[in-house]
Structure 1
Amino acid sequence: METETHMGDLLLGGFIMLGAALVMVLVFRRFGIGAVLGYLIAGILIGPHGFQLISNAEAILEFSEIGIILLLFIVGLELAPARLMRLRQAIFGLGMSQVVLCGISLFLLIMATTNFTLAASIAIGLPLALSSTAQVLPMLQSSGRLNTPSGEKAFSILLFQDLSIIPLLTIIAALSRAPQEGDGQSGWLTAIYGIIAIGGLIAAGKYLLQPLLKVIGRIAERELFIVAGLVAVCGSAALMDFIGLSPALGAFIAGVMLANSPYRHELEADIDPFRSLLLGFFFLAVGMMLDLDVVVENTGFIVGAAFALVAVKIAIIFGLGKLFGMDTNPALAMGMLLSQGGEFGFVLFAEAEKAILIEPEASSLFGAVITVSMATTPFLMLLARRFGEGGSRTSANLDDPANADRASVIVVGQGRFGQTVSQLLLAAKIPLTLIDIKPEQIDIHEQFGAKVFYGDGTRVDLLRRAGAQAADAIIFCMDDKEFGPERAREIVQSFPETKLFARVYDRRQLIALKGVGIVGMKRELFESAIHLAKQAMYAIDIDDSLIDEVDEEFRQRDCDRLEAQMNSGGDMFAGGELRFGTDFSKKT
């Protein structure tokens, strides 16, 4: 009977929490307000300070922190070396400057306007420098601005903020006044253990997890990807927790060590639903733990502090945007987008409580400040659109490819190359699904009555939603020099019955993609250059038979050169003697 009662209470509690979250998120989404705020308000209503429908908020918060761990795992997956190199200035320059300057400014403001101690001001001020990844990124994606220049800079700042959680947790631990439990090990010993554990995790990822994922990829059981991803996250987090470090650090390392995996997108797509659900429970628990008595007694302070927080962050982020070369309007829009407090502030306040740096009342007070600042974001977003990217704003309806009718061919990329390919296929009355990642390109097509779906067409999960498993062919027409063999091989393995074709930038990319299973590849300027040269020869009265002979010989020599370069492992000088007009003996 006790077991049945316990199960009944558990099911009833789940029904209440999920039901409240469903209703409030739907209401907030209906009015264009972020889901995070809906979860927080739902938690306040059902928690011990609301209608008292749920009482064990602490236990729910502890369990739902797995959502934070999964979030950091997904952040780690985004840190592939190629992307880091491209965004390194924005991530480690703009992002670091934002966290440091906003953190110091807010710390000084708290010190100047309150009676908090130095340690408490640091524990409160630094977390307020962080913005809400969970709120801002979905808003950028839904508006089609994530891939604009200011959208990428905003993403880079959010990425560095997520990375800064680890040093901020370390600062709070260093300031801690809490007594060590038992025979706590010394800090230097923990650091040594941490370095050894990180090295072990990297080695495990390379020599155990990567081969395991290849085996799973050949088996083609999607559920096993979910299991493998969760094993990596839980194992890494548990190891770090065991040696006294943050479990989130372990999850982050697990993500980084899989960032170059050809199955990265598949893992991200499979883990993300768990992350979303558990983060929702996290925000519910935070809402439950907000002390409404403290909030009611200090309403004026909370509203004033929230607006001060927003104003300080807008001013600093706007100034940094200008310093890093942004125009005035996009810099101001970025400041508005990132002006709120973030979800990690709740995590850091909870850690500061455990470290006896702040009282629970202070945690509730500044948790409410973050909540109010989040409530301003949707309205600032509406205002920010007037200060956006100018010409890059789009009125296009950015539909997901999941809404497309099933077609025989999927064409990825609708620039000048992709448009020509699509027109020829449409002339043959072949059903197409068109995909592009640039909102402005989609907007242009919409003006001509053509339907193009939004998304990164090199992602396996997006292609699956577009029906790639049932398509006869996928043609990659985008201008992407970074489209390499790992991503191509992942797509080939995921859709073995679908023929793949690709536009490539030059012979280097063609050589790199050779042998991964792409049926046909064409260098983007190859044919047009040949045709232009032939036009010129016709115009200056070169004999037609000589033109045809030159055309045939050039193509044969180029084919032979490509084969020599591939056989040499990518040496661009291989077969150089086949070039016309080159004394290759000087090169050897």
Structure 2
Amino acid sequence: MSEALWITFAFSLGLLVKGIGLPPLVGYLAAGFVLSGLSEFTPLVVEDTDVLAHIAHLGVLLLLFTVGLKLKLKSVVSPEVIGGSLLHFGITCAVFAPGLYYIAGVDWKTAILLAIALSFSSTVLAAKVLEAKRELRAFHGRVAIGILIMQDLIALAVMSVAAGRTPSVWALMVFALPLLRPFLHRLLDVSGHDELLVLLGLLLALVIGGLGFEAVGLSSELGALIFGAMLASHPRAQELSKSLWSVKEIFLVGFFLQIGVAGLPDGTALGYALLATLVLPLKGVLFFFVLLLFRLRSRSSFLSSLALTNYSEFGLIVASVALPDWLVPLAIAVSISFIVSAPLNRLAHPIYERLAHRLTPLESSRRHPDEQPISLGNTRFLVMGMGRTGTAAYDQLAQYDPDVMGLDSDPAKAEKHAAAGRNVVFSDAEDVIFWEGLHMPKLEGVILAMSDLEGKLIAARMLRKKGFTGYVVAHTGFVEEAEKIREAGADEAFLTMNETGVALATHLHDQHRPTTETPA
């Protein structure tokens, strides 16, 4: 009975909020509270069962595993990630703890633990919104995920100290995990493209990474993330991520439902939750200025900070160990922060466009790796987005003209292409400041091969706004998206599958040479 109600309310409210332009996860949160209210005020009983809790946990593990699949660990080990996360954590605790002591009237130990819990940002929500916008590999996305990983490590340490226990000595085996990478890559090679590939992902995320890490006293979430990251460099990592997508999405619905189904708050809990919500903007502002200190541009700092402006489910886990009496108000604060953060992140780029003239002067004058080119030089043909489609287009153009350039929002990918001999540099098509300072004196044609629609729309609009009159072409998977791209300024937007069919037919025609002889 409970499962039927979960599905019904999750779908109904998810569809409703999607219809008004909000992410469906806001509807799932609302569904949980509605179900909790039904249990409170009607004879209908809907409980937070072990089944729902288990589904929610599996969803989190699969999400972190797929995040790991898209994560290059070397990009996480950077000053802005390590220094930024530690500095933000220290300042938050130093400011929030005294405030909670004097305003909430709690003892110092409780105040410090609450400040620690509120300092964390949601890995689930941030990864979800960044993944939805296909920005996990963009510079600001990797900075946000890196900071979240650091926060998760801090949370694990706090929980270990608060619980008075330490990981097993077998946890030291984690340092030998890199030795398993060749074996894991081989497993991925031989798993094929069907159900064995999905089962391999579930095995690594839930069994070896999840249960395996729990068995030695470590976090199952950390295990799932690490095993995903160990496969990130494999050519089929993206295929594995796509194969797990539907399973992960369904299980994550359980995570958001669980937050609401846990119970409705009383007046005191609502008061504390409201107080936490009121100071939430300070968290984002602090992240913004901390990242500026590490020489990030205002745009990268803003987008990373907005993704981190929420409270964390990890804070609830810390509270369950150290502050069980504060679980309800913290859960409400986390829920409200999700409702506020999700739509804001969806509008992150338009919001920055409005604020750019105020935020840009705050940037450091020193250079940083996220700085982008200001001139295309002699480039005649530009390929924006150097994934599989963009790379194929670049290589084809390069056969006929040497003045070809590729742009990609992933610095690591740009470096990889440059090492392979391609003229590819880092840039983000959704960055208005990039377009404002860009010179393209000899540009004649542009291919928009980015994976996300918003990037193509912004690029097409900005090219025309700058007076570019050359040919702009894009690809997409949907007819309605093709029309939007043309309206934004592209000359043509081709449907990917249609063009694949045309290419296959062309190859067949070129290879087939029918004889003109007639049978005797």
1:31-430 maps to which residues of 2 (within 5 A)?
A: 31-47=20-36, 48-49=39-40, 52-81=44-73, 83-84=75-76, 88-140=78-130, 152-176=139-163, 187=166, 190-196=167-173, 198-199=174-175, 201-207=177-183, 209-216=184-191, 220-233=192-205, 234-292=207-265, 294=266, 296-308=267-279, 310-327=280-297, 331-332=301-302, 334-349=304-319, 353=320, 355=321, 357-360=322-325, 362-377=326-341, 380-381=344-345, 382=347, 383-388=351-356, 412=391
Structure 1 position 224, deviation (Å): 1.4
Cα distance per residue 1:395-419 (max 9 Å; x no partner): xxxxxxxxxxxxxx95558889969
Classify the secondary structure of the residue corresponding to 1:65: helix
- Check conservation: 2:130, 2:141, Cα contact below 8 A: no
Could you tell me which residue of structure 1 aligns to residue 450 of structure 2? Answer: 436
Q: Specify whether residues 471 and 363 from structure 1 end up closer, same or farther in structure 2 by C-alpha distance, changes over 3 A only.
A: same
Which residue type is aligned with residue 228 of structure 1?
A: L
Q: Specify whether residues 96 and 335 from structure 1 end up closer, same or farther in structure 2 by C-alpha distance, changes over 3 A only.
A: same
Could you tell me which residue of structure 2 aligns to residue 17 of structure 1? Answer: 6
Structure 1 position 20, deviation (Å): 0.9
Could you tell me which residue of structure 1 aligns to residue 489 of structure 2? Answer: none
Classify the secondary structure of the residue corresponding to 1:260: coil
TM-score, length-scaled by structure 2: 0.65
Q: Specify whether residues 248 and 81 from structure 1 end up closer, same or farther in structure 2 by C-alpha distance, changes over 3 A only.
A: closer
Structure 1 position 194, deviation (Å): 0.5
Could you tell me which residue of structure 1 aligns to residue 482 of structure 2? Answer: none
- Check conservation: 1:238, 1:247, Cα contact below 8 A: yes
Give me the whole-angstrom Cα distance separating, in 2, the residues matched to 1:372 and 1:96: 25
Give me the whole-angstrom Cα distance separating, in 1, the residues matched to 2:57 and 2:336: 22
Classify the secondary structure of the residue corresponding to 2:286: helix
Which residue type is aligned with residue 254 of structure 1?
A: F
2:416 counterpart of 1:452: no
- Check conservation: 2:270, 2:332, Cα contact below 8 A: no
Give me the whole-angstrom Cα distance separating, in 2, the residues matched to 1:175 and 1:120: 11
Give me the whole-angstrom Cα distance separating, in 1, the residues matched to 2:242 and 2:226: 18
- Check conservation: 1:332, 1:387, Cα contact below 8 A: no
Give me the whole-angstrom Cα distance separating, in 2, the residues matched to 1:364 and 1:466: 48
Cα distance per residue 1:458-497 (max 9 Å; x no partner): xxxxxxx9449955769xxxxxxxxxxxxxxxxxxxxxx9
Q: Specify whether residues 327 and 59 from structure 1 end up closer, same or farther in structure 2 by C-alpha distance, changes over 3 A only.
A: same
Q: Specify whether residues 146 and 341 from structure 1 end up closer, same or farther in structure 2 by C-alpha distance, changes over 3 A only.
A: same
Instruction: Give 5+ residue unaligned stretches, structure 2.
Output: 361-370, 372-387, 402-445, 478-494, 509-520
Q: Specify whether residues 92 and 444 from structure 1 end up closer, same or farther in structure 2 by C-alpha distance, changes over 3 A only.
A: same
Classify the secondary structure of the residue corresponding to 2:95: helix
Could you tell me which residue of structure 2 aligns to residue 577 of structure 1? Answer: none
Give me the whole-angstrom Cα distance separating, in 2, the residues matched to 1:245 and 1:62: 18
Q: Specify whether residues 133 and 173 from structure 1 end up closer, same or farther in structure 2 by C-alpha distance, changes over 3 A only.
A: closer
Q: Specify whether residues 65 and 325 from structure 1 end up closer, same or farther in structure 2 by C-alpha distance, changes over 3 A only.
A: same
Classify the secondary structure of the residue corresponding to 2:200: helix
- Check conservation: 1:313, 1:339, Cα contact below 8 A: yes
Give me the whole-angstrom Cα distance separating, in 1, the residues matched to 2:313 and 2:396: 43
Cα distance per residue 1:521-559 (max 9 Å; x no partner): xxxxxxxxxxxxxxxxxxxxxxxxxxxxxxxxxxxxxxx
- Give percent identity, aligned residues only: 18
Which residue type is aligned with residue 156 of structure 1?
A: V
Structure 1 position 158, deviation (Å): 3.1
Give me the whole-angstrom Cα distance separating, in 1, the residues matched to 2:389 and 2:67: 29
Structure 1 position 374, deviation (Å): 2.5
Classify the secondary structure of the residue corresponding to 1:79: coil
Give me the whole-angstrom Cα distance separating, in 2, the residues matched to 1:468 and 1:348: 51
Give me the whole-angstrom Cα distance separating, in 1, the residues matched to 2:82 and 2:315: 21
Give me the whole-angstrom Cα distance separating, in 1, the residues matched to 2:172 and 2:194: 33
- Check conservation: 1:337, 1:377, Cα contact below 8 A: yes
Structure 1 position 143, deviation (Å): 6.0
Q: Specify whether residues 419 and 97 from structure 1 end up closer, same or farther in structure 2 by C-alpha distance, changes over 3 A only.
A: farther
Structure 1 position 258, deviation (Å): 1.6
Give me the whole-angstrom Cα distance separating, in 1, the residues matched to 2:498 and 2:190: 22
Cα distance per residue 1:425-462 (max 9 Å; x no partner): xxxxxxx996235544344568868552479xxxxxxx
Give me the whole-angstrom Cα distance separating, in 1, the residues matched to 2:72 and 2:343: 34
Structure 1 position 54, deviation (Å): 1.7
Cα distance per residue 1:109-164 (max 9 Å; x no partner): 323322334443343322322223444455456667777xxx62354123321343
Which residue type is aligned with residue 226 of structure 2?
A: I
Give me the whole-angstrom Cα distance separating, in 1, the residues matched to 2:227 and 2:395: 40
Cα distance per residue 1:312-361 (max 9 Å; x no partner): 21331122132122455764565444322133333333xxx2x3x3234x
Classify the secondary structure of the residue corresponding to 2:235: coil
Cα distance per residue 1:345-400 (max 9 Å; x no partner): 33333xxx2x3x3234x2111211222222222564554452259999xxxxxxxx
- Give the superposed CA RMSD: 4.0
Instruction: Give 5+ residue unaligned stretches, structure 1.
Output: 1-11, 178-185, 393-408, 423-431, 456-464, 475-496, 499-588
Classify the secondary structure of the residue corresponding to 1:452: strand
Classify the secondary structure of the residue corresponding to 1:267: helix
Q: Specify whether residues 337 and 161 from structure 1 end up closer, same or farther in structure 2 by C-alpha distance, changes over 3 A only.
A: closer
